[in-house]
Structures are given as structure tokens and as C-alpha cells.
Amino acid sequence: MATLRLGDTAPDFTAQTTQGDIKFHEWLGTSWGILFSHPADFTPVCTTELGTVANYFPEFQKRDTKVIALSVDGLESHHQWIKDINETQNTTVNFPIIADENKEIATLYDMLHPNASDKFTVRSVFVIGPDKKVKLTLTYPASTGRNFDELLRVIDSLQLTANYSVATPANWKEGEDVVIAPSIKDEDITAKFPKGHTPIKPYLRMTPQPNK
């Protein structure tokens, strides 16, 4: 299938997971979601990633964001791997891992890349909004672990910009000034952004984060 693009509806699927069977869209409900894939169980970098997500779980909960992992190995293998993750990363894996032995979901989400491997999924990440649309995609090489601080930052930005007529500048972090959307006319800024604004260029107008 064609590569998923931003704004596409995230494909629905049913799956076996370490926390029971799910129907993806139903499982997401009205929450945001992160679906991220792993080449295989018992891989070193992914062990650190899953441990990190478990440790960051309260941060995802604060943002009403559900996380779910995928690997092409089976449930029994997943459960054994979770024991290793909990032990080595000093954590408790508290989110589901999909068993995708027939690679149906990996194929659906274009996670299989023959140039990298014809049988392993690459490290793909999909951030999915409450409307079930794909909001962000990232693909990492097998040798590079993901940065989950960046994923939290992106979710903060996506949730902010979904509700206000703003965009977030380079390296923005929660609480910092944001860019007023070009669609907002100068004469409407005062009413829309009562905290004030700083015009730098006609097309670059900054304002304090509106929901802080």
C-alpha cells in the first residue's frame, strides 16, 4: 500500500496484544495515540526504548495519549521480553505490545522496508489524533534509538495548535512564546490574543502561549 501521509486516516485493525485483543480505533477512543514499531523482540535498542516509554507513561497520561508498541514476534515472546525490559530498565511495562507475526499491521502501516530488511519492521512512529488522522510520522534507522522527549514536545505542540490559531517555532518547549498564524489579521490579534504580542516582521508575530 502507499505510504501513509499526514492527514490520512490511520488504518483500523484488530490485533492480539500483551493486554488482550483490541480494535485499534475503538481502543484509542477519543484519546491521542502513539503507535511505534520494533524490528524484533530481544533487540537491545528497543529494550531501552520500551523501558523509557514505561517510565514516561505518566507524562503520556497527562496528555491523554495512549501508547502501543508493535513487534513481529508472538505474544509468548513479548511476555518473556517484557520480563527482561522490566529487569534491565528498572520499570514496569504498562502499555500493550502488539503481536504481528503475519506482518499484516506492519504492511498496513508500511513499516516493512526491503532496503533495510525484508522481514523486520523499521523503527516507525505514528502520532494519531482523536479524529484518527495521522498527525506525525517518523522513521528511525535500526541503530538509532528514538527520542521520547521530542515526541512529548511534538504532542504538546499538536495539542496546542489544534485548539489555537498558533504555530510553534524551532526548539519550542511548553510554556514558551508561539507564532501567531498568518491567517490572523493584525487588527484581530488584540481580541484573539489578550496577553499581547510582539511583531518582528509582518509575517512573524509572537505571543505568549495562550493556554498558560
Catalytic residue among 4, 15, 28, 46, which?
46
Distance CA 129, CA 152 (A): 14
**C-alpha cell belonging to residue 89:** 530498565
Distance CA 112, CA 133 (A): 21
Q: At what angle do helices 44-62 and 75-89 cross, to 10 degrees?
A: 80
Calculate the alpha carbon distances from 198 to 177, 203, 210 in Å.
10, 11, 14
Residue 46 designated active-site: yes
121: which DSSP letter? B
C-beta separation of 35 from 151 below 8 A: no
* Residues identified as active-site: 46
